[in-house]
Structure 1
Amino acid sequence: MSPRHYSFASTWQVPAPWEATFGVVADLEHYAAWWPQVRRVVGIDDDTARVAVRSFLPYTLQLTLHRTRVDAGSGHLLAEIAGDLEGWASWRVRPQGAVTLLHYAQEVVTTRPWMNAAGVVLAPVFRLNHAVMMRDGAAGLTRHLVS
């Protein structure tokens, strides 16, 4: 079965300074400290980490994230994704008044045969699973930065 392609986008508003917000989302190795669905992170080097992610569906994604761009000046982060998903994820972080806006975009394909096959029917559920993860990530980041 062919890989299934997914495009995700999300915008978060965090009531914290953009510099601090950018620093936290640029730090792959500590995502598990604030993002509930990030179950485990193992740093490989300064720009690469192995990450285990699980939302409400009964499976854990094993991913390797490799930062390819960290540009604090423009507020842009870009990471390649390998493992159970392949593709990329991008953060654009910028101040807007008293809050920081984070625009997240992700383009991936599934690599596991069962996900490729199940995606024919379960794509809407996979998207919902991702939406829950993003909602909880925004809340976790807010708690982390505001506390």
Structure 2
Amino acid sequence: MTTEFKFVTEWRIDAPLVEVCDTIIHCLDWPIWWKNVKMVEKIENGDADGIGSVHRFTWKGRIPYRFTFDMRVTGFVPLSLLEGHALGEITGTGRWNFFREDELTVVRYHWHIYTNRRWMNLLAPIASPVFKWNHHQVMWQGAKGMACQLNARLEYFHTSTE
């Protein structure tokens, strides 16, 4: 038994596209500016564009639990797209899209996952709103952290379920 979650998060940041993309692509540095990322380890190298590379992420949200998963890069288009497949305590896909609009850099993240932790799946029927709130808090911290890291203004933040 697993539980499915689909999220779309959008950040609009007053920073150059290349700086925003580089900050996301260099995930080993995420714990520096994204307080919910407790650790990132490089597990496998990929090709010259990073396709096939694997990083292990450990996260802790506002709810007092940690979860770990490996993320394999499956797609990369410079200054436009970074996507990967997660496997571990969660399984699914994540896709970062980047573009410019109204003088701002837009970061849109699609996260389609299934939980693999037994306790999460058992509690999901009643705790799903709490898990969604936790995701919102994690992404809010990421948006604020990136803006601070880039010395930029966060102009907009929104996360929703699909």
Q: Count the aligned residue pairs.
A: 145
Q: Percent identity?
A: 23
Structure 1 segments, 4+ long, off by >3 Å, are none
2:57 corresponds to 1:51? yes
2:63 corresponds to 1:64? no
The answer to whether the Cα contact below 8 Å between 1:53 and 1:61 also exists between their aligned partners in 2 is: yes
- Unaligned residue ranges in structure 1 (runs of 5+): none
User: TM-score by structure 1 length?
Assistant: 0.94
2:91 corresponds to 1:92? no
2:125 corresponds to 1:120? yes
Whole-Å separation in 2 of the counterparts to 1:108 and 1:97: 31
The answer to whether the Cα contact below 8 Å between 1:15 and 1:146 also exists between their aligned partners in 2 is: no
Summarize the alignment of residues 99-114 of structure 1 with structure 2, pairs less than 5 Å apart.
99-114=104-119
User: TM-score by structure 2 length?
Assistant: 0.85
What does residue 14 of structure 1 align with? 13
Partner SS state of residue 84, structure 2: strand
Whole-Å separation in 1 of the counterparts to 2:26 and 2:73: 10
The residue type paired with residue 132 of structure 1 is Q
What does residue 33 of structure 1 align with? 32
Q: Which moved more, 1:52-61 or 1:91-100?
A: 91-100
Q: Alpha carbon RMSD of aligned pairs, Å?
A: 1.2
Whole-Å separation in 1 of the counterparts to 2:110 and 2:40: 21
Counterpart pick for 1:143 among 123, 148, 152? 148
Whole-Å separation in 1 of the counterparts to 2:104 and 2:148: 14
